[in-house]
Amino acid sequence: MAGRRRVWRIGAAGLGLLLPLVGCAGKPAGDPARAEVQRVLDRRSAALLGHDAAAFGETGTRTGYTRLRALPLAAFDYRVTALHRTASGATADADLHYRVAGYDRAPVDARRTLTLGRTADGRWYVTADEPARAAGQQLWDQGTVTAVRGAHSLVLGTGADRAGLTEYARLADHAVPAVTGAWGARWSRRVVVLVPRSLAGMAALLGSPAANYRGIAAVTTGEAGGSGAAPADRVVINPEAYAVLGDVGKQVVLTHETAHVATRAQTTAATPLWLSEGYADWVGYLGTGRTAVEAAPELARTVRDGEPPETLPTDKDFGFTSEPTELARAYESGWLACRMVADQWGADRLDTFYRAVGAHGKRAGAVEEALKKVLGTTREEFTARWRDYVTTQLD
């Protein structure tokens, strides 16, 4: 579902309205200065897409070209929504729309603020291009982008060497067919992975405080730093947390996140997080050979202590700011619920159940209806069966 962010936490089983079309001081949308600025930005976009560094430089600062030239773009354009005169020139509010070639089915949207100067003969030029206030950064705001193409993936990074990004591509290329084997081929079967320099860089892309993602190795979001409305999935890595994972953990993380990319069209407001996160973990752990106790250590501890869970976790239990042990138990609980369905009803029925819940459209009654139609059970019976399964698998 666009806008919902998926997470992988270390230790878990398993990560606006358009401005009015007026210029400064109430000038109408037909303000000649704004039209002139729009033409400058149009030339700037055309130069970037045409790989014409000289033409880009004629429109102002070359920083954007240097940082963006490795990004394979199918489209890149601005629409000026307001122009504000200043003592030294102007600032422009603009909506940026861009598409990564071969990956984005629709444009990514981002709100930008451009600072403009003016030459002695009255020509406008760009001196800075930054995220609008309260908008997330784009990867190139953090430095020059390096791109590594895999067979099924595109890895974009800042601050990482090509060898490191190539390793992400290798893991992503393994994840895509693994997810297709479980979910089926009716998705793009491609994934874009963003690798910022640090935890702070990850948080800036997502437009949230870094504290929200500490210890979280990756997040899948419909549109990192954008409006959340376009089908442009990104897996955003926290390199600090990801680095401490073992080889199996690193693969599980990228497979988990890739599962979110594949299932997003069938993941709606009706889908509880125990199902979406549990399913992604179920796909992530397929073929790893990890036992239930190895994959669900926190939940196993509660079972050994004689305090097994009574109910499936709520969406609130998956909050980024939840206590780490409680968050781990939430992920592990969702994973075991999906694993139980696959074990006792079959993997195909698990996929059908997932789709049926999402197709309901609204949360109330979605799980109950899908349990009845697909699995032939009730919520009460399912929960009791899950409690027994957790105890049996983890005791």
Torsion of CA 102, 217, 253, 337, to 10 degrees: -120
* Both structure tokens of 164: 């490191």
Please list, residue by residue across 222-248, b when 16 or more beta carbons sit within 10 angstroms of its beta carbon and e when fewer do. Answer: bbbbbbbebbbbbbbbbbbbbeebeee
Q: Which of 133, 151, 166 delimits the end of a domain?
A: 133
Structural domain includes residue 64:
yes
What CATH number does residue 79 fall under? 3.10.450.50
Q: Which of 81, 110, 133 delimits the end of a domain?
A: 133
Structural domain includes residue 68:
yes
pLDDT tens per residue across all 395 residues of the chain: 334 444 444 443 333 323 233 333 344 456 899 999 999 999 999 999 999 999 999 999 999 999 999 999 999 999 999 999 999 999 999 999 999 999 998 889 999 999 999 999 999 999 999 999 999 999 999 999 999 999 999 999 998 899 999 999 999 999 999 999 999 999 999 999 999 999 999 999 999 999 989 889 999 986 443 333 434 589 999 999 999 999 999 999 999 999 999 999 999 999 999 999 999 999 999 999 999 999 999 999 999 999 999 999 999 999 876 688 999 999 999 999 999 999 999 999 999 999 999 999 899 999 999 999 999 999 999 999 999 999 999 98
Structural domain includes residue 123:
yes
Q: Which of 114, 133, 152 delimits the end of a domain?
A: 133
Structural domain includes residue 352:
yes
DSSP annotation string for 344-376: HT-HHHHHHHHHHHHHT-SSTTHHHHHIIIIIS
Structural domain includes residue 260:
no
Structural domain includes residue 198:
no
Q: Which helix (H) or strand (E) holds 276?
A: helix 273-285
Length of the chain: 395
Structural domain includes residue 13:
no
Range(s) of the domain holding residue 28: 24-133
Domain count along the chain: 2
What CATH number does residue 380 fall under? 1.10.390
Structural domain includes residue 204:
no
What is the DSSP secondary structure assignment for residue 249, as one 8-state letter?
H
